[in-house]
Amino acid sequence: MESSSNQAEFDYLFKMLMIGDSGVGKSSLLLSFTSDTFEDLSPTIGVDFKVKFVNIGGKKLKLAIWDTAGQERFRTLTSSYYRGAQGIIMVYDVTRRETFTNLSEIWAKEIDLYSTNQDCIKMLVGNKVDKESNRVVTKKEGINFARESGCLFIECSAKTRVNVQQCFEELVLKILDTPSLLAEGSRGVKTNIFKEKPPQSDAATKSFDPVSTAEKKASVSTSQRISEALELLEKGRELQAQGDFNQALYCFTQVIEKYKDFAFSDYARVGRALALYEVGDKEEAIVELEDVSISLKGYPEVHAALAAALYEDKHAPLLAENQFTIAVLLDPHYSDLSYVKETKHWPPSLISSLRNFITLS
């Protein structure tokens, strides 16, 4: 599998979802796959996603991989993210039996309840095989469960990266091999290289897809909109990382105005608030942060940004302290200024507010 260099063009966009108990290694697998590194990660808050461009099976693919939180308290936040997924990766930890039993107790039931693609491909992943001496779930048990549940199966280690690429590659190959999952909505928005594989007529797809034409059209248009919204959100984040907060503000605002029906547009609201703080109205930025801290409950970045702004601009040290305590409880990295600067790409004005708060409070 190669990483695709030309990110503007792709044949298909696939939405993939990672589920499983807290601590089984979902975020680590995703990080290992998307950035070739392994770090000790803090628990995922709600939902996050990463995008990777790859060439698999002769196709240029854009993979939007959603990493959900395994913790019970975030369950309601994640249910809507099953919608439209072509692939679902169910992860357990081979050294913790309860993470394996919870697959049938909790996770398979969630898929039945929420998944909208009945042909969606499922991949069962036994992670942490590097800890062989602590293993309590045998490979045979994994294979049997996968067979009973109609899943693909692989064992891997996010730490040593054994089988990580294969896991995603096999899943993608199977999706590519399933015509009903290659509906128009998953196609790339900027290229049209399907001449060798013309769109299937309703008659041709009937045997795969029991959904009515009207429903299918609606789903196609939703997938298309998701793809456009994700692209704008990514662009905004890219511009933010480059320090172009005016353009970033424009992209984030577009997402909010055109795609506010998608739950993930809240991430654009966070980006917009940060950019506004640098190049726009600070009051408005603070109101936006306060507002989005309610809808994106438990997202540490919002609490940390609010703390900095409340301290510096509202002279409200107690409120700031409260917000910062929440942020650091959720993710201890937020007390490290260089981490926030380098990985969150906050604007200089907000970094300076956070610095004042951390050093003077």
Closer residue to ligand GTP, CB minimum distance, 27 or 180: 27
Say how far residue 40 (Cα) sits from the centre of its chain.
18
Closer residue to ligand GTP, CB minimum distance, 13 or 19: 19
DSSP-derived 3-state class of residue 131 = coil
Closer residue to ligand GTP, CB minimum distance, 157 or 353: 157
Closer residue to ligand GTP, CB minimum distance, 139 or 147: 139
Q: Which residues contact 1 (CB under 8 A, 6 or more apart)?
A: 54, 55, 56, 165, 168, 169
84: left (phi over 0), alpha (psi -120 to 50) or beta: left
CB of 84 to ligand GTP, least distance (A): 21
Amino acid code (one letter) for 58: G
Q: Closest Cα partner for 337 from 318, 361, 356? A: 356
CB of 44 to ligand GTP, least distance (A): 3
CB of 212 to ligand GTP, least distance (A): 36
Closer residue to ligand GTP, CB minimum distance, 27 or 254: 27
CB of 330 to ligand GTP, least distance (A): 12
Q: Which residues contact 80 (CB under 8 A, 6 or more apart)?
A: 114, 263
CB of 153 to ligand GTP, least distance (A): 16
Using the CB atoms, write b or e for 51-87: b if 16+ within 10 Å.
bbbbebeebbbbbbbbbbbbbeebeebbeebbbbbbb
CA 27/CA 29 separation, integer angstroms: 5
CB of 301 to ligand GTP, least distance (A): 16
- Residues forming contacts to ligand GTP in the complex (CB under 6 A) are 20, 22-28, 40-41, 43-44, 69-71, 127-128, 130-131, 157-159
Closer residue to ligand GTP, CB minimum distance, 65 or 256: 65
**For helices 26-35 and 164-176, angle between their N-to-C axes, nearest 10 degrees:** 80
Kind of pairing between the strands at 47-56 and 12-19: unpaired
Closer residue to ligand GTP, CB minimum distance, 71 or 222: 71
CB of 23 to ligand GTP, least distance (A): 4
